[in-house]
Structure 1
Amino acid sequence: MLEEKKTDILLGFIRDGKPMTLKQQLRLTVQLSVPAIIAQLSSIIMQYIDAAMVGSLGAEASASVGLVATTTWLFWGLCSAAATGFSVQVAHRIGANDMKGARMVLRQSLVATLFFSLLLAALGAAISPSLPGWLRGDISIRQDASVYFFIFSLFLPALQMNFLAGGMLRCSGNMHIPSLMGVIMCVLDVIFNFFLIFPVRECCVSGVWFTIPGVGLGVIGAALGTAAAEMVAAGVLLWYLLTHSDKLKHVRSEGNFWPKTRTLRKALRIGLPMGIEHVVICGAQILTTVIVAPLGVFAIAANSFAITAESLCYMPGYGIADAATTLVGQSIGAGRRKLTRSFAHITILMGMTIMGMMGILMYVFAPEIIGLMTPVEEIRTLGVMALRIEAFAEPMFAASIVAYGVFVGAADTLVPCLMNFFSIWAVRLTLAAWLAPAFGLKGVWIAMCVELCFRGLIFLIRLKRERWMKQFSI
């Protein structure tokens, strides 16, 4: 609580127009980034848990989840974009010391995003029977993949509320509660999965035998366990946001929850390009899955595990990007151009440094990382190869991730969306389609490494030119 109070004092310097030394800027960036990184890492640990538990069931179970993984990320991204369209408005209002306006945007966002997530849930449930076939998955894994995605789709409203409540708290400067709930969600995921995935079994500890209860649902249990953990986290975050947040709580607060045209228009201007960007990236990942699928079950599983494992490296970048969005958003709301530029540079340098070090660790410990998720040797060999190729791209990947967070805080999302579209579709997929027939999964990951370096470069160029600061009048 003391650390949170110190953070709020420094954020108050932004809102009140007080000068900030470089040391204070660095301290505030670290104070916001560390909890955000923990929250992002907890999300990845949850994916590791699911991957490891499902991986213990065999290659086909792993492949069934891996087949639809990119499509679940697409739906996640759309929910995240919808939440960000409103939370960035809240950051700007708080930066301008307009707390009443911030609460007004929050009220309207609850109805708008819930309606949006219900539409997504209906769409996901409708396509779930056909999705594995569209992705050219093997007949042996289609049934489990279809049911897994169906369950995921049904619980999208809970995921949406999780994203919205966490995003609102972060944009208000409260990184600690979303971080704490991320950790709790991981613990709950382990507990739920432990009982839902595996059947009743006997266990011996120090010569004492006892029975461990279990439902034995396998892949379906993994989907239900994750969904249950997300529901609990969403409920707690919403409760805290609406009753305990210093800036956004709605106890004895009056106002209409029905979305206003002006608020929706701003949310669309911010969130729609982000949604398109997620469609572009995840569409490319889905197409990559289509490229990988003919390479066999081992290649599908290894590709999925390597993507999950790599996320351990890049999630710190996303945590720092969350901090960058808050810092830039509040600085712009306060009308402080010089401070906006300074926070942009600090966060990007921090992200590149941390992810560069994580890339080194990923290269060295790739066998151990993949080994945690699967006992199948063929999958391990392919996964280690993929991780060691990707390790070289981590610093430039960080540049693109954090710079994107900066641009989101400035409500500048259209041009970055177009940049991502060109980089992924013109560079990554072209190279992957060209290299995969000759080099297999290795060719796909070489293409990814080259594209991430190119993307980081063009994002740094845009940051340097400062055209994203044209939105400064917001």
Structure 2
Amino acid sequence: MKKSLLMDVIEGKNLSFAQKNKLIIQLSLPTIFAQISTIIMEYIDASMVGRLGANDSASIGLVSSTIWLLTGLSSSFNAGFTVLMTHCIGANEKKEARNIMKQGFLVCLTLSVIVSIVSIVLSPILPVWLKGNVEIIKNASNYLKIYSFFIPFHCMNVMASFCLQASGNMKIPSIFNILMCLLNVILNYYFIFPAGLNMGVKGASLATGLSIVFCMICLLFFIFYKSEILSFQKKERISWDLITIKRAFQIGFPVTIESALTSLSYIVFTRIVAPLGTLSIAANSFAITAESLCYMPAYGIANAATTIIGQTLGARREDMTISFAYIITFFTVIMMSFSGCLLYFFSQEMIQVLTPDIEVQNIAVSILKIEAFAEPLYGASIVCAGIFRGAKDTLSSTRFNFISMWLVRLPLAYIMSLQYGLKGAWISMCLELCFRGSLFLFRLFRKTWLSYGLIIKIN
């Protein structure tokens, strides 16, 4: 049914309100489940390491924002290629979509290898620059170095998932990502604890990396041999098209800059928090993990939004594009409002799963209750970014994230942390997320983002 509804859009047929909602749900649910499973994996990861003590938890928390920068940077390379793919598929140009995909894989692999090498070289230096305590620097460096080796595999895994999603197949990436999470739990137990290899923090990083490799292999096999739209076709050779690569970089470069600026802001935020002590670093890390269970489903909907918006614009269905954009945004805000309520009332239970340390629990719970109020507008910013990306409007998201993160959150966090500690830093985060969501909603309702998808056309 999902396939036929997408084909109805491509063929110019109208969908009822109920059919639009059904299509959104069908495309969103698999990615939501995949995002939730990823967060559960992080929960289990953090919980297992948390059993080793506050120092080991803090060592991972210290470099987590750096890892987000590296993985986000390498993963963002694929954005331009996958957006172009959605438009080609929407225009029923499947051969061109496959050629764009092949070029994207090779370009992204090359760039991610460079990121990996740079990260490995810098891994002994970064924990010191982040002002980590002496007792956690060594473990933080080891965790970062091991994870950095797997960055190219992570990039290929994300690229494969996005390619399948661009073709309208949300189910397969979700299934393999869930399997990746289950494998990570098993490997964690074996690599971290004395019953297995007793590698501690290094074992946690290695287990995550090997799980990513497994998922990547499965997804690539499905794409090249099983996918109806993307699989290898006889006599089809890769055709290097510099115009297509240029367009992909025009679309993807703002996403890369956005990812870098956002992740760098997380690193600076961690640096602001680090002088507050080991307990604050650990509480900050656990609170971020706990909150992600609430907002990551919005990223799943955003992925579905990119596919729907890209294919409707590729089919030149402007009226349907606007309708889908509004319905998706409304649905996300309602869902995130509910998530915010859960975060506020069950923050204690969520943190207890992650750490047995009472002091860390108390600090983390207090800041989560603050953050709960930002969830609806945070969700709006996430899904609007997915909508704009589907329309090839990636620059506006970069602008909004830069303004809100660097001109609002970080200055406020620094000032308020001096007076109110970690709570002050998280109050600034809450205010910034509300401001960011308002910016995205303003642009959504102005509809200027539509022009990007309608003007730029692949020849």
Provide the TM-score with structure 2 as the length reference.
Answer: 0.98
State whether structure 2 residue 340 is matched by structure 1 residue 380.
no
Structure 1 residue 253, shift from structure 2 partner: 5.0
**Which residue of structure 1 lines up, in the alignment, with residue 9 of structure 2?**
14
Contact 1:325 1:408 (8 Å CA) reproduced = yes
1:129-161 Cα shifts (integer Å, max 9, x gaps):
101011111111011100110111101111011
From 135, 141, 144, give the equivalent of 1:146.
141
Output aligned runs, 1:75-224, within 5 Å: 75-200=70-195, 214-224=196-206
User: What CA distance in whole angstroms lies between the structure 2 residues aligned with 1:154 and 1:298?
Assistant: 29
**Which residue of structure 1 lines up, in the alignment, with residue 415 of structure 2?**
434
User: What CA distance in whole angstroms lies between the structure 2 residues aligned with 1:289 and 1:171?
Assistant: 34
Structure 1 residue 260, shift from structure 2 partner: 2.7
**Which residue of structure 2 lines up, in the alignment, with residue 231 of structure 1?**
213
Q: What amino acid sits opposite 1:437 in the alignment?
A: L
Structure 1 residue 419, shift from structure 2 partner: 1.1
Structure 1 residue 55, shift from structure 2 partner: 0.5
What is the Cα-based RMSD across aligned positions, in Å?
Answer: 0.9
Output aligned runs, 1:23-422, within 5 Å: 23-200=18-195, 214-256=196-238, 259-422=240-403
Contact 1:124 1:150 (8 Å CA) reproduced = yes
Structure 1 residue 266, shift from structure 2 partner: 1.4
Contact 1:79 1:163 (8 Å CA) reproduced = no
Structure 1 residue 39, shift from structure 2 partner: 1.1
User: What CA distance in whole angstroms lies between the structure 2 residues aligned with 1:239 and 1:467?
Assistant: 39
Q: What amino acid sits opposite 2:6 in the alignment?
A: L
Q: What amino acid sits opposite 1:121 in the alignment?
A: S
Q: What amino acid sits opposite 1:11 in the alignment?
A: L
Contact 2:75 2:154 (8 Å CA) reproduced = no
Q: What amino acid sits opposite 1:236 in the alignment?
A: C
Structure 1 residue 21, shift from structure 2 partner: 1.1
Contact 2:80 2:251 (8 Å CA) reproduced = yes
User: What CA distance in whole angstroms lies between the structure 2 residues aligned with 1:15 and 1:349?
Assistant: 24
Q: What amino acid sits opposite 1:135 in the alignment?
A: L
User: What CA distance in whole angstroms lies between the structure 2 residues aligned with 1:275 and 1:82?
Assistant: 6
User: What CA distance in whole angstroms lies between the structure 2 residues aligned with 1:199 and 1:344?
Assistant: 51
Contact 1:38 1:179 (8 Å CA) reproduced = yes
Structure 1 residue 79, shift from structure 2 partner: 2.2
DSSP 3-state at the match of 1:216? coil
DSSP 3-state at the match of 1:199? coil
Unaligned runs of 5+ in 2: none
From 381, 396, 404, give the equivalent of 1:423.
404
**Which residue of structure 1 lines up, in the alignment, with residue 441 of structure 2?**
460
Q: Percent identity?
A: 46
1:320-359 Cα shifts (integer Å, max 9, x gaps):
1001000000011101101110111111111111111011
Give runs of ≥4 in structure 1 deviating > 6 Å. Answer: none
User: What CA distance in whole angstroms lies between the structure 1 residues aligned with 2:364 and 2:315?
Assistant: 47
Structure 1 residue 251, shift from structure 2 partner: 4.3
Contact 2:49 2:57 (8 Å CA) reproduced = yes
Structure 1 residue 85, shift from structure 2 partner: 1.6
**Which residue of structure 2 lines up, in the alignment, with residue 208 of structure 1?**
none
Provide the TM-score with structure 1 as the length reference.
Answer: 0.95
Contact 1:243 1:251 (8 Å CA) reproduced = no
Q: What amino acid sits opposite 2:316 in the alignment?
A: G
1:160-189 Cα shifts (integer Å, max 9, x gaps):
110000000011100000110111011000
Contact 2:332 2:383 (8 Å CA) reproduced = yes
Q: What amino acid sits opposite 1:364 in the alignment?
A: F
